[in-house]
């Protein structure tokens, strides 16, 4: 299936009720499963990853023979969080996923958990899922990891830290990347009375217990997804005119991707914080060279790459080292797809790329391959604001994080044809 997307007026006006954050939802679900006191989660994400995690943690039928095969599909966060979670739960679980998931490394997390006392075996290839996890009480203690390790590995460990007999100390070697995602996890732990502390090059969490707040009607409300908001910022930046209200976002936010409000000032987008959301409008863009380090917000890289390409702005991107182990190798995917527009992506090293402005004016219809990656589909849709139309392959991949994306586009004037 393919979608051909166009916008007749190139004016972005209206109101969007933004999808909830799957990052925040998935953390809340693990905390809910570990907390002995019941509480409700309001505005839980409808993203496929969150739906998968919900079904796994709340099965319709209990496991048999003390062993359970659990398939997380393509949900990377779910694989990482459950690897840690099941390490603390009595019983044996075999954790597997899609073919792509079996190629996404998990050895760093498994090694860290083994140091804390976990019993985990590789079922197929060393360092990769599937995993056989025999849960038990973990002693905890101090571990050392590289600072540039995926924040999901660190968050997986922090989420189970209250379960560890001797607490947890994570010592980082080198600069810590994706720090905002780690801080999101720590803030959510604090919401449930578990307190961690940053030191100069480490985080420590003593043995504690999760507790919900004492209000009788307490419920945890998940914020809208700032990563999803980035696609609306991109469309606004490429539009002829924009006045869009996006509801469901907070200021300040737990999410590191909220920095996009600052990033997009470069592209002429003004953000006004209102009750229960934001209003974005378009001003004059800067036409100079753009440079940014995405270490703290790697999920924004594809969206901003589309914007600089469409606006003919040369750019240097740093902090991209985690993009190779996502749903696809996102750097190579960007290079291949942006070339269709005449944009050259030069891969400088594992961490950096240079994007050169359009070298040709391609007037032919363009079809974008999405590589089973939701962010490729949504980021490249913004080109509909610059071209007569853009065609997106495998449009249903958006269900991984933003199932209502295409309907939301239609609600503000986009035309979508199968």
Residue 408 known to be catalytic: no
Is residue 245 within 8 A of residue 277, CB to CB? The reply is yes
Q: How many CA atoms lie within 13 A of 60 on its CB side?
A: 1
Contacts of residues 31-36 at CB distance under 8 Å and 24 or more positions apart, as own/partner, are 31/159, 31/188, 31/189, 31/192, 31/210, 32/57, 32/220, 33/57, 33/85, 34/85, 34/88, 34/159, 34/160, 34/162, 34/163, 34/210, 35/192, 35/210, 35/211, 35/212, 36/209, 36/210
**How far is Cα 237 from Cα 393, in angstroms, rounded to an integer?**
23
Is residue 359 within 8 A of residue 386, CB to CB? The reply is no
Structure tokens at 56: 């796994």
The answer for residues whose C-beta is within 8 angstroms of residue 22's C-beta and 6 or more apart is 45, 47, 49, 50, 77, 225, 401
408: left (phi over 0), alpha (psi -120 to 50) or beta: alpha
Marked catalytic residue, from 299, 329, 388, 396: 299
User: Which DSSP category does 19 fall into?
Assistant: P
Query: DSSP characters for 281-292?
Result: EE-PPP-S-EEE
Q: How many CA atoms lie within 13 A of 238 on its CB side?
A: 29
Q: Which helix (H) or strand (E) holds 335?
A: helix 330-339
> Strand, coil or helix: what is 295?
coil
Structure tokens at 134: 């025999």
Query: DSSP characters for 250-281?
Result: -SS-S-GGGGHHHHTTTTTEEEEEETTEEEEE
**How far is Cα 100 from Cα 177, in angstroms, rounded to an integer?**
24
Structure tokens at 200: 């100069």
- Which positions are annotated as active-site residues? 299
């Amino acid at each position: 299936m393919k979608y051909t997307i166009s916008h007749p007026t190139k004016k972005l006006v209206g109101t969007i009720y933004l999808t909830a954050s799957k990052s925040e939802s998935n953390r809340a679900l693990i905390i809910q499963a570990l907390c002995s006191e019941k509480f409700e989660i309001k505005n839980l994400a409808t993203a496929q990853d969150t739906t998968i995690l919900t079904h796994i943690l709340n099965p319709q039928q209990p496991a048999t023979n003390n062993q359970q095969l659990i398939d997380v599909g393509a949900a990377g966060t779910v694989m990482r969080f459950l690897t840690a979670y099941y390490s603390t739960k009595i019983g044996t679980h075999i954790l597997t996923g899609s073919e792509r998931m079996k190629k996404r490394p998990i050895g760093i997390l498994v090694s860290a958990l083994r140091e804390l006392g976990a019993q985990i075996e590789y079922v197929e290839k060393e360092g990769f899922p599937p995993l056989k996890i025999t849960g038990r009480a973990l002693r905890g203690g101090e571990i050392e990891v590289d600072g540039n390790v995926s924040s999901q590995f660190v968050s997986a460990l922090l989420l189970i830290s209250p379960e560890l007999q001797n607490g947890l100390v994570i010592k980082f070697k080198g600069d810590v990347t994706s720090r905002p995602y780690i801080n999101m996890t720590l803030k959510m732990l604090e919401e449930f009375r578990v307190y961690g502390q940053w030191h100069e090059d480490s985080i420590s969490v003593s043995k504690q217990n999760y507790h919900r707040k004492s209000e009788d009607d307490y419920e945890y409300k998940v914020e809208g997804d700032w990563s999803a908001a980035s696609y609306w910022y991109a469309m606004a930046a490429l539009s002829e005119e924009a006045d869009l209200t996006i509801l469901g976002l907070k200021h300040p936010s737990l999410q590191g991707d909220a920095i996009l409000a600052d990033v997009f000032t470069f592209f002429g987008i003004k953000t006004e914080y209102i009750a229960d959301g934001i209003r974005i409008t378009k001003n004059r863009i800067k036409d100079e060279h753009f440079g940014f380090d995405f270490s703290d917000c790697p999920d924004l890289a594809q969206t901003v790459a589309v914007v600089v390409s469409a606006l003919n702005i040369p750019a240097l991107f740093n902090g991209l080292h985690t993009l190779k182990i996502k749903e696809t190798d996102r750097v190579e995917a960007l290079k291949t797809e942006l070339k269709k527009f005449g944009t050259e992506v030069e891969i400088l090293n594992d961490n950096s790329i240079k994007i050169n402005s359009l070298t040709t004016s391609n007037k032919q219809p363009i079809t974008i391959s999405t590589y089973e990656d939701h962010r490729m589909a949504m980021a490249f849709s913004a080109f509909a604001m610059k071209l007569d139309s853009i065609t997106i392959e495998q449009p249903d991949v958006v269900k991984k994080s933003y199932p209502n994306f295409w309907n939301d586009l239609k609600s503000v004037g986009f035309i979508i044809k199968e």
